[in-house]
A and B are shown apart, each in its own frame.
Chain A
């Protein structure tokens, strides 16, 4: 009898412990989501005031203009047009470099996965993916800025290309590997050439996964600041020349952060950046679930 009660208190203790573990897992999981909402709140509540049309139509103000406006109690003049156009230029150029190269490498790896050479390439892709962004900045500086003698949008997009390439290669490779072999066999048995099978059967069937990979890669590099500090540098005016220094939204945020007169603009710029990144993520998720293989 005594034995029985002691074992039932033991069982009780185990059940209580089980409940405590369950409750704390739930509690800490929800606690983990708090920072996201805190960050969003911080950016939204401070950024909405300056989030207006001017943000998109005017370039960043000089420190002097901003100070005069502050002294007279007006809103800071200007926006971040030079950053928006710079981000578009640098990212678009990087996408232009990344897509053909990334797709081809991904196709090669998916089609030749047993070759020793593929294993080497695959290993090096992982290696490239792990390089910290600031080191990528140094590399693009050594490759492009030094030889051309000037900071440039081109150097910035080379840096972003090195960052995006491994992501696009991986998503392409993994998507193609998931396609049933029968797709390829059917195409080939109909007398289609290998090239046609890849471009008319494999790539279209894997479109969802590949496109999602590209979008996610873009959203990842969109907010990169460190590599651009060493390559694109920044510019106070709108610049479309890829050989000239160019600004970007994150670079402008960094400038504003370092200039007490321009502090009001950091939040609206961050808000814009977050909106763009989250929309890209959302589109990527939607595409991925719509085009599931």
Chain B
């Protein structure tokens, strides 16, 4: 009897995940309908105009979609030269050694720092540097936001790819060594190709992180409602426009912001799904 109740409770808890997901979709889709019926889904997504003044009210998401893609992909690009060496350091060169666990714990601490503290650091410490480099006059913009984002996603990219690199079978590497290959050749010709899909999956997951990051980007990207004019330009990401304007929003504007949230949800869900599929294929092999 007791076991029966317990089993029902367990099942009910699992069922709650389904309800939660349904509730998430309901909340996001339900509130976005207003703006989608006003402009159509494509009309909303492809319009770069964002004008909340009541006389000329018009809402489009394109500027923020572009801003999100610019910052996330540039951050991903910037993080590779740092996260890949860390992954090789902890997963290959010093695998299982004490120094590897020290390095990986220190890099992992980067993941523990709150987004808002990254924002403060970017604003007070990096912005003056960006200005003196002559990127732009105010320092704010895609460039500054991406640099900080890159630091934020390094631990996600490096810890997972290190795991895949450390899983490369020893006999493959030993085979290459016995043919006279140097360590860097073994890494280049054996370890990296073998772990390639896993590494790609880790970077896709890191990209997913970068797409949804809010506070640091909001503090650094400059908050202008236009498609960023290259890396030097300012803009807004999907997350930052929501953070900036949700507070005072109502009516159509609120619906437009929630619709942007829905789009962001769909994009990150797809990105995560792709990464998970790649990893599932790996574990099946």
Which one, B9-17, B55-63, B135-143, is touching chain A? B9-17
At the interface, yes or no: A291 with Cβ under 8 Å from chain B? no
Q: Is the CB of A32 within 8 A of B107?
A: yes
Q: Is the CB of A162 within 8 A of B114?
A: no
User: Measured between alpha carbons, how far is A131 from B266 in the docked complex, in Å?
Assistant: 9
Q: Is the CB of A253 within 8 A of B116?
A: yes
Q: Is the CB of A39 within 8 A of B118?
A: yes
Q: Chain A residues near B10 (CB, 8 Å)?
A: 104, 107-108, 111
At the interface, yes or no: A75 with Cβ under 8 Å from chain B? no
Which one, A133-141, A204-212, A237-245, is touching chain B? A133-141
Q: For the side of the interface on B, what is the size category?
A: 35 or more
Q: Is the CB of A127 within 8 A of B269?
A: yes
Q: Chain B residues near A15 (CB, 8 Å)?
A: 182
Q: Chain A residues near B16 (CB, 8 Å)?
A: 101, 105
Contacts of A118-172 to chain B: CB distance below 8 A: 118, 120-121, 124-135, 137-139, 141-143, 162, 165, 169
Which one, A16-24, A50-58, A60-68, A88-96, is touching chain B? A16-24
Q: For the side of the interface on A, what is the size category?
A: 35 or more
Shortest beta-carbon distance from B100 to chain A in Å: 10
At the interface, yes or no: A59 with Cβ under 8 Å from chain B? no
Contacts of B1-34 to chain A: CB distance below 8 A: 2-3, 6-7, 9-14, 16-18, 20-21, 23-24, 27-28, 30-31
Q: Is the CB of B82 within 8 A of A32?
A: yes
Chain B residues packing against A (C-beta within 8 Å): 2-3, 6-7, 9-14, 16-18, 20-21, 23-24, 27-28, 30-31, 81-83, 85-86, 88-90, 93, 103, 105-107, 109-110, 112-121, 123-125, 151, 154, 158, 182-185, 187, 208, 211-215, 218-219, 239, 242-243, 246-247, 257-258, 261, 264-265, 268-269, 271-272, 276
Chain A residues packing against B (C-beta within 8 Å): 14-15, 17-18, 20-22, 24-33, 35-36, 38-39, 42-43, 100-101, 104-105, 107-109, 111, 117-118, 120-121, 124-135, 137-139, 141-143, 162, 165, 169, 193-195, 198, 219-220, 222-226, 229-230, 250, 253-254, 257, 266-267, 270, 273-274, 277-278, 281, 285
